[in-house]
Amino acid sequence: MNIDTFLIYSVIAFLYVLSPGPAVMLAIVNGIRTDMKTVAISCFANILGLAVLSTASILGLGVLILTSATLFLIVKIIGAFYLMYLGLKFLRNRGILNIDAMEKNVKQKSKKAYFFESFFVAVTNPKPIIFFTAIFPQFLNLHEAIAPQFFIMTGEFLCFSFFGLCTYAFLSKKSKALLSNEKRMYWFNKFTGGLFIFLGLSLLRIKNHA
């Protein structure tokens, strides 16, 4: 892979990571309701899920999912309904809607729960499957060893994802002051819940064009 191709891939990967989606929204919410250590664990779980999808795509599973209408539909439906489930949890939150209460109540949720929540969101999202299967291979030089290119490109993508999600979470944490009263948290929960449901419905609209 020449440097020009690598730079083009880097720009596309960076923009993809920064684009709004389920992982970004989850990072923002986690940044508000928990500490950065837990956020880092959650972000690591996300890139672990992306690593699974990337490896699966290079081994052919991604192609199988894209070419099998049934498998694609199963993955899409599971991911969509999980996002809508998260959205409904926010919409039904009628407790004391302030930051202190959220941080106090969230201690009951283990870091392991955050890990698996983020991992599940990552591996059931069809968008990364499409990226790794339809876009990723276009930057591989088939006249050179595939494995080194795969590790370099995947490693860069995962680094972008991890630091991008952590940045979103950190910025949302710094915005806590804007969401420190009941009225603002009420609308935050409504907006967040609606956005998660919208993202879930958006996944259902993704079509298999293979």
- Confidence tier at 208 by pLDDT (50, 70, 90): low
> Is 0.85 surpassed by the pTM of this model?
no
Predicted confidence at residue 41, as pLDDT, reads 94
Strands (DSSP E) contained in 69-150 are none
Give the residue with greater pLDDT, 114 vs 137: 114
Predicted confidence at residue 96, as pLDDT, reads 42
Residue in this structure with the two tokens 């941080």, named with its chain if needed: 103
Give the residue with greater pLDDT, 79 vs 44: 44
**pLDDT more than 70, % of the chain:** 74
Predicted confidence at residue 98, as pLDDT, reads 46
> d(Cα 195, Cα 156) in Å, to the nearest integer?
28
Tell me which residue of 69, 54, 189, 68 sits closest to 128, measured CA to CA.
54
Cα separations in angstroms, 67 against 24, 54, 197: 28, 17, 27
Predicted confidence at residue 201, as pLDDT, reads 81
Mean pLDDT of 107-115: 80
Over residues 71-91, the pLDDT tens digits come to: 667 767 776 786 687 788 777
Predicted confidence at residue 134, as pLDDT, reads 65
Please work out, in degrees rounded to the nearest 5, the angle formed at the alpha carbon of residue 196 by the alpha carbons of 120 and 65.
Answer: 45
Predicted confidence at residue 45, as pLDDT, reads 95
Mean pLDDT of 22-50: 89
Residue in this structure with the two tokens 């202190």, named with its chain if needed: 100
Q: Is-contact 31 169, C-beta < 8 A?
A: yes
Predicted confidence at residue 158, as pLDDT, reads 93
